[in-house]
Amino acid sequence: MRKLLFLIILLASIYPKAFSQVGGESTYDFLNLTNSARMAALGGNQIALSDSLDLNVSYNNPSLLRPEMKNMMALNYVDYFAGVNYGYAAYSFDTPLPGNFAVGLHYINYGKFIEALPNGERTGATFNAAEYALNMIWSHEYNRLTYGINLKPILSSFENYQSVGFAADLGLSYFSKNRFSVVSLVARNIGTQITTYYEGAEKESIPFDLQFGISKRLQHAPIRFAATMQHLQKWDLAKPVEDNTGIIPVLKEENFTKKFMRHLVLGIELLPSPNFTIRAGYNYQIRQELRLDEKMSTVGFSWGFGVRISRFQLNYGSARYHLAGTSNIISVAVNLSDGFVRKL
């Protein structure tokens, strides 16, 4: 654990500029996309979930990679907007080395584009745009404390412009004795752009995110609550807005409660049986950034469910990011081990 904390401090000192970045201010923003149906249903991100059958949780927090996940495979596909789609595939395997290991691939495909000249004239040629991140996850545990790291080489390609980068996620989790409660701390996307998209360009920051999360499963009721605080490296996530109610327009900041809520992601799971789960989530930041004043509807809310049949799991998540449409996510997982047993 001391080695992991030392690594966090070391990377922070190497890449201090990254510690002030939020969405829209950096490159490789696809690294912050929700990877699985379960996470989409729970508000987009939860880093403190205890579930030995969900390999996808290690994507959000590498310290959640458990020994029981060995020989488990997870496949995720997201039907996004305007022909854009992305996904994540992962596999956890056994090695003679200490700790738990998994490898995954995260990608986004922006689709096919028609080439045009600066004056708007189409040439008839087409080109593609896509980004990829390899995930190499390791975790270890000491008593009820687990720690892990996810190393992510990155390739971004837009037509003839390519960029290579590297990022790392560091996670730390503490489990209660009965594992019904989990507290986690995660530093995501600590890294740098290694090569720029064109010669002579300055290196851009990547989307660092410091997160704190907690979850609690009730002992005498089939309910699990989860909450994650995001972007803790920057308190003010909203720009001041112009107030024209007075004689002279002034810039007005949000109050403390609204600033706090922009960091908070809430989720709840109902567990009526070991084979069926109902989920819901709320993300205040998404609701504020993508709403329309005329009609807010259910923007920022999400829901989903999960079904387990023998060694197979199917999860569905639906998240309303904007009135223009809803993002649907499907996740499939299979345990390839013989005689696997579910643990909390």
| Contact yes or no for 44/265 (Cβ under 8 A) | yes
Structure tokens at 231: 């972007």
User: Domain map of the chain by residue range?
Assistant: 2-115+122-335
301-309 vs 276-283, strand pairing mode: antiparallel
| Contact yes or no for 210/21 (Cβ under 8 A) | no
122-142 vs 100-116, strand pairing mode: antiparallel
122-142 vs 241-243, strand pairing mode: unpaired
Give the residue ranges of the chain where pLDDT is below 70.
1-24, 242-251, 291-296, 322-325, 338-344
pLDDT tens-digit readout, 219-240? 889 999 999 999 999 999 887 7
Q: What angle do CA 23, 332, 65 make, to 5 degrees?
A: 65
* Burial class of residue 221 in the structure, from the number of CB atoms within 10 Å of its CB (0-12 exposed, 13-18 middle, 19+ buried): exposed
Contacts of 260 (CB under 8 A, 6+ apart): none
Computed on alpha carbons and rounded to an integer, the radius of gyration of the chain in Å comes to: 21
**Cα–Cα distance, 134 to 317 (Å, whole number):** 24
| Contact yes or no for 173/51 (Cβ under 8 A) | no
Question: What is the DSSP secondary structure assignment for residue 222, as one 8-state letter?
Answer: S
Instruction: Identify the pLDDT of residue 71.
Output: 93
Q: Is 178 helix (H, G, I), strand (E, B) or coil?
A: coil
**Cα–Cα distance, 265 to 183 (Å, whole number):** 15
Q: Residue 163 corresponds to which amino acid? A: S
DSSP codes joined into one string, 269-314: EEEEETTEEEEEEEEHHHHHHS-BTTB-TTTTEEEEEEEEETTEEE
Instruction: Identify the pLDDT of residue 4.
Output: 46
Instruction: Identify the pLDDT of residue 156.
Output: 96
| Domain with residues 2-115+122-335, CATH architecture | Beta Barrel (2.40)
pLDDT tens-digit readout, 40-57? 999 999 999 988 889 999
Instruction: Identify the pLDDT of residue 111.
Output: 87
**Cα–Cα distance, 304 to 29 (Å, whole number):** 25
